[in-house]
Structure 1
Amino acid sequence: MYTGKSISDGFDKNGEWWYSHCFGVSGEAGFVCNMRKAVSGYMEVAREALLWDVVFEWAAGDAVDRYLVRRVPLGGVADMSAGWRRTADGPSVNALGGSTVLLPAVLAKRQLLGYLRRTAPEAGSHPAGEGLDLDEAYEQVISTSGPVRFEMGRNTYWLTHDGRYSDRHRFLRHPHPDKKGDGS
């Protein structure tokens, strides 16, 4: 469990999140629902121990996202950008949504999981009753190994090979063969 030494606390040497075993997250059946219950339980324990704050919750969520991204290997996948936007009318704290520049596929997928985690509470339900529920949306992102686009509630989320690189980010670039990485 979180001991305050690093944001990697709670993970063993193999990258497995040991707290998840209390909720049966290791199995495939109901994985996402159990994973979300495990994170919720972890936050509750932290609150009771007076360790919780917004930064702790962000760090724990990010650590779980790093774990989930590794469930489907992305080696050799071209760089992608992640994003979300409000697709249906209604109040939103972030009415415009957000997106990233082109990033290595694993980082873009992690960003999409972060967008999903942070925007899910205000996503609500789709006005026409269409789209994915939260568990299906997580499974969609976790299992993807390429571009994806889906609606959850009043929001649309995506991973795409379209976008631009930023000169501020230094990493080995793997542009899609049909894209130049400059928005064209």
Structure 2
Amino acid sequence: MSKTIGVEGWTIVHQARQKHYDDRFYGQFLGTHEDGRWIVGRMWSGKSMDDGFHDGGWDWSRRFAGNPSTGNADAALKAYIEMSHVTFVWDRVFERRVGEAIDRYWAGPEVPGAPKLSAGWCRTPAGLPAGSTIRLPFHEAKYRLLQYLRGTKSAARPGLNTRAFILHDTVEAIRQATGPFRIQYGHNAYWLDTDA
């Protein structure tokens, strides 16, 4: 999901809304701006799934800026999950679905004519693949690589003093990739390759 709301140009990365026991609908959204800011907003409560935004506006929001975009995204994700308990949209897979939505956004649109690539990761220095995919459309391969990074970043044991900066650089390298490449993050290596 990537649609723009309001006059401020926020792109919605994830939204959730559902009916509560009081017969009213509650919801929230997670969005980003092209300058790296992120926003967590609460929709207006209403009588349907479609009345959460009034004239492109919302009930309340909190913005995250000043850090690298990955730091802003991580802080927004934490606040978004906390808010999900107040807006009654939380369930057991909520955090996973939101993480997937962020990674899908970061993977970007499909590039016409781009090569199909496989995504993979391994622990170094052993070098044996711990996870890999078949060759996929370029956008899907980048998404899967971001998913590998999300699932393994804490176990990569990067240096304590530079973790956020290195993570930001790793995510940005994946986002900016235009073909096969390999990158090291902590004790893990991640790659896009033409081999399956």
TM-score under structure 1 length normalisation: 0.65
Would you say 1:10 and 2:48 are equivalent positions?
no
Shift of 1:19: 3.0
1:76 aligned partner: 113
SS at match of 1:3: strand
Contact 1:74–1:145, Cα closer than 8 Å, also in 2: no
Gaps of 5+ in 2: 1-14, 20-27, 32-37, 42-61
Higher helix content, 1 or 2: 1
Structure scoring higher RCO (CA < 8 A, sep ≥ 6) equals 1
Shift of 1:78: 0.5
1:168 aligned partner: none
1:23 aligned partner: 64
Q: Which has the larger radius of gyration?
A: 2
Deviation string 1:133-161 (CA, Å, 9 cap, x unpaired) is 21111111111121110110111100111
Contact 2:170–2:185, Cα closer than 8 Å, also in 1: yes
SS at match of 2:153: helix
Structure 1 pair 50–88 and aligned structure 2 pair: CA distance change class (3 A):
farther
Higher strand content, 1 or 2: 2
Shift of 1:85: 0.7
- The runs of at least 4 aligned residues of structure 1 exceeding 6 Å deviation read none
In 2: Cα distance, 1:4 partner to 1:160 partner:
41
Aligned residues: 143
SS at match of 1:98: strand
Match runs of 1:93-132 below 5 Å: 97-125=130-158
Deviation string 1:84-141 (CA, Å, 9 cap, x unpaired) is 011147xxxxx96100001101001000000001101111126xx9xx8211111111
Identity level (%):
34
Gaps of 5+ in 1: 90-94, 164-184
In 1: Cα distance, 2:142 partner to 2:88 partner:
32
Shift of 1:31: 1.8
Would you say 1:145 and 2:174 are equivalent positions?
no
RMSD: 3.2
2:34 aligned partner: none
SS at match of 2:134: coil
